[in-house]
Chains A and B, each alone.
Chain A
């Protein structure tokens, strides 16, 4: 997706910043207030890296001859129309759904059509297996009515950009971005490196920006022009991002710190989308081909974090909605599911059907949409209503990642047909419309 030409709003923003602002400045400058555009939703993606086992939380397959359920006394739990797998060794799951189930919707039976990690990550995030596809968060971020310096922030986890990377910003696994902005990146460097003074940096910045703009305006249309224009835009983005250094450095590299850091960014309105990876127990990821019981502490940790996250969202006033939970949509997913039965190592191998969890803004909570068939495939459903259509006689479809992408784009005020075509209806059953 190509970036739009330099817009008037961006020029306005640059005029707001005092001349000579160098990225070496720390504080001393009130950052421009950036209210989120009225009604413009923001999105937080939480990616459980490795392939979670839906049978531990989402897939209540207690009567299935094929599914090995968690061996910890798991049983069915229900609150209203919401049903989940409850286990005595995973109390955080119960606590979450009991407290925030009315803001949560489970989507079961999503068909990924691959069982390779890299491929599935791409399919889940972009809605496509096309190697040139761009992920949904990047597209949503770029479609913001405001020109955001960090339209989509990758705090951790995957991101897929076509040749386009404008607006997609990686924080770095240890928050390296903040250090680059502030200049603290040279601390502890081997050999010792130093940076110029802020005034010299500002002088140099002005020269380089002028050069970049000059070449962008004179470059012939094509790759050269895109590179030069992109560089000019990137330099401008650095200027804008510098004012938000304090929220660009999560307090820690653990999942919860990164999640709360993402909320800071979304709350500040400096980003529209963010993604954080949850690496499970001991950061060992979720790819448990042996000892599937390790999913228990991983889910316990994840849902503990989700409770903390929702507590923050539901108690923080929003910009245009009552709370941040009304403005921010949280999508929790993993790239695949796990094979229904145990293997010889007491683990589970890959499976091409999985579940997703949606929270917060725009989501019709307290429900489960979709289902697994007896053979643990996805069940066709009517996307508008969520009604199951097991034999497909009423035109139902098995939920696809492309439909999830269309749903999120719809929620973001975009036309999903432009990205996915008219044959990919959004799952309106998930939405509170």
Chain B
């Protein structure tokens, strides 16, 4: 290459200095030593087996929350209203923004209603196929009795019955927050959770039911998976079930019942360590084993 050309190439204007890069003031690598200010705090179990069993008892002693009790209470309280309060029949409910009081002295506030669907096909023998369901639409209200006690509702419930004649089958649920200071059991204490039931009953009347979901009652929080009771196969215990119990500092115990027919299982902590063996009383589950609701 001719020298002159090389000189031209070599002596080209040096590039203008690059504009100063914006100051990078973020430091995602976090090389500062302040990270030690918030150490992670592993939590240790503080309950032993006796306390764990007592907590489970406390959660279930008032009975398992069911939509049937909530619905019955609501319908009874609705009968004490009138045309002025809470007003005309709105999906078997009401919509009161504020508070009104009926002539009988019952006060209503919020929005309540029921959506019933009747998809039954009757057979000659009086049985029926299909289903009948009642669904809350909505349930966001409180109703105060003249004595000052009140039913407070915030959530949903669903009662779905099917196929009478070959026994019965159902799917039910109650979710949200429910409390009635004028009732008893779990409803008096107040319930928060998401409980789902599905079960069936044969023509001999033997029922089997699956339970799953979560509850907080009496300040005790429990989650349940694959809980099954079967009046034919096992009248004294659970066919299966996994239970989770919350310690107040937000950590959870796990109780796994062996499949078959048992009331006792191994309790483990969040880190997998074994706490011991705890036993559950199945009677609250058997007391609600048949959750049909539809009149024959």
Provide the B111-155 mask, 1 if CB < 8 A to any CB of A, else 0: 000000000000000000000000001100000000000000000
A290 and B139 CA atoms in complex are apart in Å by 13
Using Cβ atoms and an 8 Å threshold, which residues of chain A touch B137? 291
A290 and B138 CA atoms in complex are apart in Å by 10
Q: Which of A283-339 contact B (CB under 8 A)?
A: 290-291
Per DSSP, chain B at the interface is strand
Nearest CB on B from A289, distance (A)? 12
Across the two chains, which residue of chain B brings its CB closest to A290?
B138
Across the two chains, which residue of chain A brings its CB closest to B115?
A346
Nearest CB on A from B19, distance (A)? 23
Nearest CB on A from B76, distance (A)? 26
Using Cβ atoms and an 8 Å threshold, which residues of chain B touch A291? 137-138
Provide the A184-214 mask, 1 if CB < 8 A to any CB of B, else 0: 0000000000000000000000000000000
Q: Which of A56-77 contact B (CB under 8 A)?
A: none
Provide the B229-262 mask, 1 if CB < 8 A to any CB of A, else 0: 0000000000000000000000000000000000
A290 and B137 CA atoms in complex are apart in Å by 10
A290 and B140 CA atoms in complex are apart in Å by 13
A358 and B287 CA atoms in complex are apart in Å by 62
A392 and B138 CA atoms in complex are apart in Å by 46
A291 and B137 CA atoms in complex are apart in Å by 9
Nearest CB on B from A380, distance (A)? 39
A338 and B138 CA atoms in complex are apart in Å by 21
A291 and B135 CA atoms in complex are apart in Å by 13
Across the two chains, which residue of chain A brings its CB closest to B97?
A282
Provide the A250-291 mask, 1 if CB < 8 A to any CB of B, else 0: 000000000000000000000000000000000000000011
A425 and B186 CA atoms in complex are apart in Å by 64
Nearest CB on A from B92, distance (A)? 15
Using Cβ atoms and an 8 Å threshold, which residues of chain B touch A290? 138
Nearest CB on A from B177, distance (A)? 17
Nearest CB on A from B143, distance (A)? 21
Using Cβ atoms and an 8 Å threshold, which residues of chain A touch B138? 290-291
Nearest CB on A from B98, distance (A)? 13
Q: Which of B134-183 contact A (CB under 8 A)?
A: 137-138
Across the two chains, which residue of chain A brings its CB closest to B95?
A282
A291 and B136 CA atoms in complex are apart in Å by 12
Provide the B24-52 mask, 1 if CB < 8 A to any CB of A, else 0: 00000000000000000000000000000
A199 and B201 CA atoms in complex are apart in Å by 88
Across the two chains, which residue of chain A brings its CB closest to B156?
A345
Nearest CB on A from B190, distance (A)? 24
Nearest CB on B from A141, distance (A)? 36
A232 and B138 CA atoms in complex are apart in Å by 54
Nearest CB on A from B158, distance (A)? 11
Nearest CB on B from A355, distance (A)? 28
A291 and B111 CA atoms in complex are apart in Å by 13
**Contacts from B to A (Cβ < 8 Å):** 137-138
Q: Provide 3 A-B residue pairs closer than 8 Å at the C-beta atoms, listed in order of the A residue.
A: A290-B138, A291-B137, A291-B138
A-B pairs, top 3 by smallest CB distance, nearest first, are A291-B137, A290-B138, A291-B138
